[in-house]
Structure 1
Amino acid sequence: MDWDQFDLNPKVIAALKKADIKSIKEILNLSGSDLQRLMKLSSADVECLLKTVSHTLRRNSMLTALQLYQDNDHLTSQHQKLSLGCSVLDNLLKGGIPLVGITELAGESSAGKTQISLQLCLCVQYPYRYGGLESGAVYICTEDVFPSKRLQQLIGQQQKLRADVPAEVIRKIKFGNSIFVEHAADLDTFHSCITKRISLLLARGMVRLVVVDSIAALFRCEFGVSDSVTKARYLQTFGAQLHSLSARFRAPIMCVNQVSDAVSESEAARCSCSVADNRVSPALGITWANQLLMRLMVSRVSPLERSVGVASCHTGSLRTLRVVFAPHLPPSCCYYTVKLEGVKGME
C-alpha cells in the first residue's frame, strides 16, 4: 500500500511505515488504542487516520436511485440472472437463476432435473445479451455417470431450441473445453473438489456455473439416525463453502436434490409438492433448506391432473416446475416438456 497517496499528515505516514502496516485491512483490524501504542501517535492523529481510511473505502460505493435508473448497461448481481434457455421458464423465474446464492432443484426420478441442469451448462456459454455468462460450467456427479451422450445431443439441437440466437453464436457452444466433469462419491472427495479444483476453475475464469447432481446422494449411506448432529455440521460446512464461492466469483450454484415421502402429519403440512397423489418433501431437512436462496421443485403430471387447461391438450410427458420459495419470487408454477432439443416451457 502506497501511503503517500493518502491525504494524511506526513508524521502519520511515517508512523505507518515504521510500524510496518501495509494495508487498510491491518488498520481496521486494530482498535484505536492499539494503533496509538503501535504507532506512538495521539488519539487525534489516529482518529484522522481512521476517518481517511473509511472515506477511501466508501468512495464511489454508493449510487443514487437516479444513477441506477440511468445506468442501463450496469446489471448488479442482485438483478442479473442466468437464463434457462426458455422464455417461459425465464418468465416464471423473472429472468432465470440468480448469480449469487444456492438454487436447489428437487424432484422425484425422471422429473427432468438432470435435463434442466444440462441445459444450464449450455446456456452459461452464451453471450450476456442472450442470458448467458460467456463462460463454462463444472458438473459434479455424485452417483451416476455423466450423461455426455445426451449433452452432445442437446448441443446438436440448440438451433431448434434457441431460435432467438444467431447460428454463428450457437456454433461456438461446445462440450470439451467448456464443461468440466468431476466425480465425487463421498464427502471427503466432494470437500476436496469444491475447495481445490472448483475454486481454481472459478479463480481462473474458466467457469461461472457449478452444478451438483445430486447433493442428497452424498448423505444417503454416510449417516444413521443417531448421527444427525454430525450430518447437520457437514451440511452447514458445505453450504457455507458453496455460498463463499458463489459470492466471491458471482457464480450461480445449482444443487440437484431428491425427495422423500412425508409420512407424518407435521411433514405433510410442510410439503410443497404433490406427486401422483403422494406428498413428498425435499431430502436433507431444514438444515439444508436454510442454506438455500431459492428452492425449485419438479414433478411429472399424473393423468388425473390433466383435467383442465394446457395439461389436457398435451399428449406427451408433461412436467411441472414450481417455485417453492425465493426472496424475489412468489410461489408459482408452470408446465414444461422434455424434448429432443431440450426443456421447453408451455404457456
Structure 2
Amino acid sequence: MAMDQAVRDIEDPIEEEENEEIFFTEIDELQNHGINAADITKLKLAGICTVRCVQMMTKKTLCKIKGFSETKVDKLKEAAAKLDSASFITGLEYSVQRKKVMVISTGAKQLDELLGGGIQTMSITEAFGEFRTGKTQIAHTLCVIAQLPTAMGGGNGKAAYIDTEGTFRHERIKAIADRFGIDSEAALENILVARAYNSEHQMDLITEIAARFAEEKGIFRLLVIDSIIALFRTDFSGRGELSERQQKLNQMLSRLMKIAEEFNVAIYLTNQVQSDPGAGMTFVADPKKPVGGHIMAHASTTRLYLRKGRGEERIAKVYDSPDVPEAEAPYAITVGGIVDVS
C-alpha cells in the first residue's frame, strides 16, 4: 500500500471494512425484552454496555448496582440469554470466531516472528523486565502501529493508554509516527490517554474506556496499561494487605480479559520485576521474577520477559504462551520506536 494512502487512512481510521461484523449486542437491545430505559442507564453508568457484559457479570455484582434487586437481576439475565447465547458451541464454530482475531506488529520483524506475527486482539500480552528494557517503548510503538492499515501490520483502529507511572510521552509518539511517514498530530488524536493516580482510579478508568469501546463500535484496537501493578504496590503494602491486593488485582485482570474478548481489542500490559532470593540457591542466571504472583501468571495470555543484551541490544523471551513456543528474539530501541537489531 502506498504511503500517502496510509496517511489518508490514519487521519480517518477508521472506517470499518464493509464486511467486518461487530460481534457484540448493545445493551439498549434489552429494552425489547422488558428491561426499562432507567435500568439500562444504570447499567451503562456501571460500565456494563453490552449484553455479553451482562452475562459476564455475576448476580452478586449486578445486585450491588443501586436499585437492582435479585428478582430484577434474574429478569435481566434471562433477557440477556435470549439475545446472546453463552452456551456450548462446536469447535468449528469457535474457530470461526477466532478468525476475527487481528495481529498488531511490534515494529520489529524478529519480535513479531517470536509472537506469531505480533500481539493479538482478544487476549492479554504482558511484558515484564527491568528498567530500560523497552516495556514502555513497545507500548508507544504499538499505539502508532495499531492505527496503520492491516496491510502494514496495523489494526486500522485507535488506541487507549492508561498511564500509572507518568511515562507517556507525546514526543515519542511523534517520532514513531515520523518513522512510518504519517501525520504526528493525527496519530496523537487517535490515542486516548488517562493518568491513573491509585488502583481504584485505575479500575474506574478501565470501566470508562469499556463504555467508550461500546460507544465507538469497532474503532479501538489496542488498550495499554503501563504499568498494571505499580499502583497496587503503592496502595497495598506488607503481607497483611497482600490478600486484598491480589483479590483486587484479580478482579481488574478478569475485567480486562472480558473487555479484550468483548470488543476484539489487544491488551498490552507492562509489569515490574522483583528479586527472587530463593533463585540464587538453584543456580538461576537471572534471579528476577514478575510481580503479581500466580494471579498475574494465569490472567496473561502471553508473557514476555525483556532483558538487556550487549550494548543497545535487548532480548525478548516468551515466558508463557498458548500459541507460540518458548524462544528468544533480539530487538533495539531507537528514536523511531522498536526495531530489529542491525
TM over 0.5: yes
| Distance of 2:281 and 2:103 partners within structure 1 | 32
The one-letter code sitting in structure 1 at the alignment partner of 2:210 is S
Note the alpha carbon deviations across 1:198-229, whole angstroms, 9 max, x for none: 11221114422110001121112211211121
Alignment of 1:221-260 (within 5 A): 221-223=234-236, 224-260=238-274
Larger radius of gyration: 1
Is contact 1:82–1:131 with CA below 8 Å preserved after alignment?
yes
Is contact 1:126–1:173 with CA below 8 Å preserved after alignment?
no
| Equivalent of 2:301 in 273, 293, 296 | 293
| Distance of 1:126 and 1:98 partners within structure 2 | 15
3-state SS in 2 of match to 1:331: coil
Note the alpha carbon deviations across 1:8-31, whole angstroms, 9 max, x for none: xxxxxxxxxxxx9769x9xxxxxx
Does residue 1:130 correspond to 2:152, yes or no?
yes
Deviation for aligned residue 1:176? 3.1
| Distance of 1:150 and 1:171 partners within structure 2 | 13
Does residue 1:120 correspond to 2:127, yes or no?
no
| Equivalent of 1:83 in 101, 105, 110 | 105
Alpha-carbon spacing, 1:106–1:194, altered in 2? closer, same or farther (3 Å) = same
Is contact 2:124–2:269 with CA below 8 Å preserved after alignment?
yes
Is contact 1:334–1:346 with CA below 8 Å preserved after alignment?
no
User: How many residues are matched?
Assistant: 261
Q: Which runs of 5+ in 1 are unaligned?
A: 1-19, 26-52, 160-169, 303-315
| Distance of 1:318 and 1:110 partners within structure 2 | 11
| Distance of 2:257 and 2:281 partners within structure 1 | 29
Is contact 2:173–2:184 with CA below 8 Å preserved after alignment?
no
The one-letter code sitting in structure 2 at the alignment partner of 1:298 is L
| Equivalent of 1:147 in 144, 169, 174 | 169
| Equivalent of 1:202 in 209, 213, 222 | 213
The alignment's C-alpha RMSD in Å is 3.2
| Distance of 2:287 and 2:105 partners within structure 1 | 30
| Equivalent of 2:323 in 304, 328, 337 | 328
Is contact 2:108–2:340 with CA below 8 Å preserved after alignment?
yes
3-state SS in 1 of match to 2:246: helix
Is contact 2:130–2:306 with CA below 8 Å preserved after alignment?
yes
| Distance of 1:154 and 1:268 partners within structure 2 | 43
Q: Which runs of 5+ in 2 are unaligned?
A: 1-31, 36-51, 53-80
Alpha-carbon spacing, 1:201–1:21, altered in 2? closer, same or farther (3 Å) = closer
Does residue 1:282 correspond to 2:290, yes or no?
yes
| Distance of 2:301 and 2:147 partners within structure 1 | 23
3-state SS in 2 of match to 1:202: helix
| Distance of 2:244 and 2:287 partners within structure 1 | 28
Give % identity.
27
Note the alpha carbon deviations across 1:1-55, whole angstroms, 9 max, x for none: xxxxxxxxxxxxxxxxxxx9769x9xxxxxxxxxxxxxxxxxxxxxxxxxxx99x
Q: 1:164: which partner in 2?
A: none
| Distance of 1:242 and 1:341 partners within structure 2 | 29
What TM-score, normalized by structure 1, do the two folds share? 0.67
